[in-house]
């Protein structure tokens, strides 16, 4: 999954936290290598993406910042963590 696809997925499910693993692809053809960069917990709240990285540090990113930071990465399919950061999904 690409960063833009992930952002669309998260935006449609605002307020719910999902866990993904960031992957970085390098090389071409048979020499291509996929490296896991760690698990991220992501939530869309309003116009911002709340991202908690492998180090435990949480950042608020606009959609543009999210694309700049994660644009070169691919992601595993999002897995719901069961955490709701607000009541929006219940009443939206």
Ordered DSSP codes for 43-64: EEETTEEEEE-TTS-EEEEEHH
Write down the domain spans for the chain: 3-77
Q: What is the DSSP letter of 76?
A: P
The per-residue pLDDT for 40 is 97
For 29-83, the pLDDT digits (tens) are 888 888 899 999 999 988 899 999 999 999 999 999 999 999 989 999 999 998 8
The per-residue pLDDT for 88 is 53
Question: Residue 36: helix, strand or coil by DSSP?
Answer: strand
pTM of the complete model:
0.84
């Amino acid at each position: 999954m690409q960063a833009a696809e992930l952002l669309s997925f998260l935006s449609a499910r605002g307020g719910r936290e999902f866990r993904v693993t960031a992957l970085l692809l390098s090389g071409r053809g048979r020499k291509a290598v996929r490296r896991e960069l760690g698990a991220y917990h992501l939530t869309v709240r309003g116009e911002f993406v709340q991202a908690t990285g492998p180090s435990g540090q949480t950042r608020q990113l606009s959609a543009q910042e999210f694309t700049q930071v994660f644009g070169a990465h691919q992601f595993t399919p999002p897995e719901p963590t069961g955490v709701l950061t607000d009541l929006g999904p219940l009443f939206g």
